Amino acid sequence: MLKNKNIIIVMGVSGSGKSTVAKALSKKLGYQFLEGDEFHSESNINKMKNGIALNDKDRIPWLRDLSKMLFKFKSNGTVLSCSALKKSYRKILSKNVPANNLIWVYLKCGTKVLEKRINNRNHFMPLSLLKSQINTLEEPKDAIFLEDSLTIKEQIDEIIKRIYD
């Protein structure tokens, strides 16, 4: 991969470890960290809390807001955690970021691991919505793929190796 890319989006379904990996990566690189979930509207959060899956109409304003945030911080170095489940969502997210400044990291996890993680955390996204996320997911073709068998440290080391080597 090319050097000097400074927007990294850590993506995957709920429970894949996006926030944990993105936060650790941003700290290691000295980059700004953006938690995608913090930018959901109250109505989106309430829908998910009530077990109602978000649709494109719900997600698009959220994705546009995140894209604007990425543009705002594009020269600072930023790591965003965001599900980015569909190719069309990734297109919205990357709209304001030059392609040569963007790196996608996809955290791929088995269903049993995802279920365990979701059951062991305090988050507005209930386990009942995991299947809808898995069904919505369109795996990226242009991303660093990381399996759930790696530790957080191993994931961070692998991302840095793949970006800067």
Residue 124 pLDDT level (bands cut at 50, 70, 90) = low
28 band by pLDDT with thresholds 50, 70 and 90: very high
Dist. CA 33–CA 110, nearest whole Å: 26
pTM: 0.88
pLDDT at 24: 96
Q: Is residue 62 part of a domain?
A: yes
In a domain, 69, yes or no: yes
In this prediction, residues 25-53 reach a mean pLDDT of: 89
Q: Would you say 97 and 137 are in contact if contact means Cβ atoms under 8 Å apart?
A: no
What integer pLDDT is reported at residue 1 of this predicted model? Answer: 41
Query: In sequence order, what DSSP letters do the residues of 94-161 get, joined into one string?
Result: HTTS-GGGEEEEEEE--HHHHHHHHHTS--SS-GGGHHHHHHH----SSSEEEETTS-HHHHHHHHHH
CB 13 within 8 A of CB 113: no
CATH assignment at residue 61? 3.40.50.300
- Domain-embedded: residue 45: yes
Instruction: Tell me the average pLDDT across 86-109.
Output: 91
Q: Is the pLDDT of residue 82 over 90?
A: yes
Residue 3, pLDDT score: 47
CA distance 2 to 9: 16
pLDDT over threshold 80, residue 40:
yes
User: Angle at CA 83, nearest 5°, toward 18 and 72?
Assistant: 90
> What value does the mean pLDDT of the chain take?
86
What pLDDT score was predicted for residue 118?
Answer: 65
Residues 65-86: what's their mean pLDDT?
A: 90
Q: Are the C-beta atoms of 10 and 18 separated by less than 8 Å?
A: yes
Please indicate, yes or no, if residue 1 is contained in any of the structural domains.
no
Is residue 2 one of the residues assigned to a domain? Answer: no
Task: Determine, yes or no, domain membership for 61.
Answer: yes
What is the rounded average pLDDT of the residues 34-43? 90
Cβ–Cβ contacts within 10 Å for residue 85, how many?
23
Q: Which domain holds residue 111?
A: 7-164
Domain count, the chain: 1
The verdict on residue 38 lying in a domain is yes
